[in-house]
Every structure is written in C-alpha cells, then in structure tokens.
C-alpha cells in the first residue's frame, strides 16, 4: 500500500485509547465519526456496506489515518496486507472486533 499526501491536509490524531468491552455499534460509530470528520461527509451517508474508495473517494492517506485511528484507539495491529483487504466500513469494524480480544460482538 503506497501512502501519498492527499488534498485534505495533515491528519488529525486522537490521543485516546478505548479500553474494556465495546459493542459493534460503538466501533461502527467511531469509524463513522472518524470518516465523516476526515472526509467531510455526512455521517448518515456512511453505512456498513459503504466502500472506502468507490463511495467515499478515500485516498491512501485517508485509509492510512483510519488504520492509525483503529490501532491507537483499540490497540489492534494491522499490516499493510491486512489493510489492503479491507474495502468497506463493515469490514473495518469486523477487523477490530476479531482482533481486539475485549469486544462484545453483539
């Protein structure tokens, strides 16, 4: 995965880390809020089936900042190869739920 600066300027970094049990809805809400803020889109336009590149027109920098957000917030580690396989918002949520170890998947 190649990372190149995008037109939106530098990424915003959040310095909080979520601990404890969280639900699918909580992870989805964080991902949706991050994407809405980063890409300047209506959060209601983002669903689990929303595709990063095709629907949100996210570039590689946008996707890189999302990966960093997930790693920083949930303590998951994602390789470039794993990130390249995540095409939708729901797949990103699934990754966090599968690799966090403290999530209530309900």
Task: Express each pLDDT in 41-82 by its tens digit.
Answer: 999 999 999 999 999 999 999 999 999 988 998 889 999 999
Query: Do 31 and 93 contact (CB within 8 A), yes or no?
Result: yes
> What single DSSP character describes residue 8?
T
1 occurs within a structural domain: no
106 occurs within a structural domain: no
Q: For a pLDDT cut of 90, what percent of the chain falls above it?
A: 62
Range of the domain at 58: 24-100
CATH number at residue 34: 1.10.1200.10
State how many domains the chain has. 1
> Regarding predicted confidence, which is higher, 99 or 56?
56
Confirm whether pTM is higher than 0.85. no
2 occurs within a structural domain: no
Query: Do 10 and 65 contact (CB within 8 A), yes or no?
Result: no
Q: Among residues 37, 40, 42, 59, which one is catalytic?
A: 59
Does the structure show a pLDDT above 70 at 102? Answer: no
18 occurs within a structural domain: no
Is residue 104 flagged as an active site residue?
no
Which residues are CB-contacts of 50 (< 8 A; sequence separation ≥ 6)? Answer: 56, 88, 89
Q: What is the DSSP string of 30-87?
A: HHHHHHHHHHT--GGG--TT-BTTTTT---HHHHHHHHHHHHHHH-----HHHHHH--
10 occurs within a structural domain: no
- Which among 7-11, 15-19, 22-26 has the top mean pLDDT? 22-26
76 occurs within a structural domain: yes
63 occurs within a structural domain: yes
60 occurs within a structural domain: yes
């Amino acid at each position: 995965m190649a990372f190149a600066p995008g037109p939106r300027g530098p990424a915003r970094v959040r310095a909080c880390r979520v601990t404890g049990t969280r639900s699918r809805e909580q992870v989805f809400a964080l991902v949706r809020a991050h994407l809405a803020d980063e890409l300047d889109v209506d959060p209601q336009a983002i669903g689990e089936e929303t595709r990063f590149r095709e629907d949100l027109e996210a570039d590689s920098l946008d996707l890189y900042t999302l990966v960093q957000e997930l790693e920083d917030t949930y303590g998951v580690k994602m390789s470039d190869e794993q990130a390249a396989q995540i095409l939708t918002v729901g797949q990103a949520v699934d990754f966090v739920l599968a690799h966090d170890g403290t999530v209530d998947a309900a």
